[in-house]
Amino acid sequence: MEQRILLTLALWGLLWPWTVRQACAQDLEQHLKPADEVTITLRDGSTRRGIVESVSASTLRLAIDGQPRTVDLGALQTIRKRGDSVVNGTLIGFGIGMGGSLLFGSYATGMCRNENGINCPSLVPTAWLFPVLSGTALGFLIDGSRVGSTVVWKSESRIAVTPSVSPGAVGVQARISF
């Protein structure tokens, strides 16, 4: 009995990636809206750019070079939407600013401890904060000035695995599509 439970859980684990892919295809309507500019990559590696006209759980209708075209999601490898988040650039800028802050802040702190200068009360906080703030701001501005793209759908797997457990029989049904 315990072996069947463990086998069922293991087979369900094989089924999980296929389930996730199906959920992503159904959620595509939330990520793409009409008039969004997208770039699609087909399974043969070719790419097309177009404007979204409509989205369903299994198809994508685009205007490619002014001509409407319906594409089955099974024929797609990826869908990229124009525009991306500035979070990654901001975090990179923050990290670079932290490096500068450690360098300049440590230097200013050490210098003030040794020399007791009159400018130390304002120099030390500035040496620690200015590199972090400027690095974060520059990262945000540089990433914001560049128009990137975001992957909104990717075909993860072409293998579907379904567990089959019944009294006296345990098996797996697999479907491979090319």
- Separation CA 168–CA 177 (nearest Å): 30
Average pLDDT, the chain: 78
* The two three-digit tokens of residue 171, written as one number: 């098996």
CB atoms within 10 A of CB 92: 17
Buried b (16+ CB within 10 A) or exposed e, 129-156: eebbeebbebbbeebeeeeeeeebbebe
- pLDDT reported for residue 1: 57
Q: How confident is the model at residue 157 (pLDDT cuts 50, 70, 90)?
A: low
More confident: 77 or 160:
77
- State pTM to two decimals: 0.50
pLDDT score of 165 more than 60: yes
- Separation CA 119–CA 122 (nearest Å): 6
Instruction: Provide, rounded to the nearest whole percent, the portion of the chain with pLDDT above 90.
Output: 13
What number does CATH give the domain 2-83+148-176? Answer: 2.30.30.100
Q: How confident is the model at residue 124 (pLDDT cuts 50, 70, 90)?
A: confident
- pLDDT reported for residue 93: 93
pLDDT digits (tens, 9 = 90+) for 13-34: 655 554 434 435 566 777 788 8
Report domain extents, the chain. Answer: 2-83+148-176, 87-145
pLDDT score of 177 more than 80: no
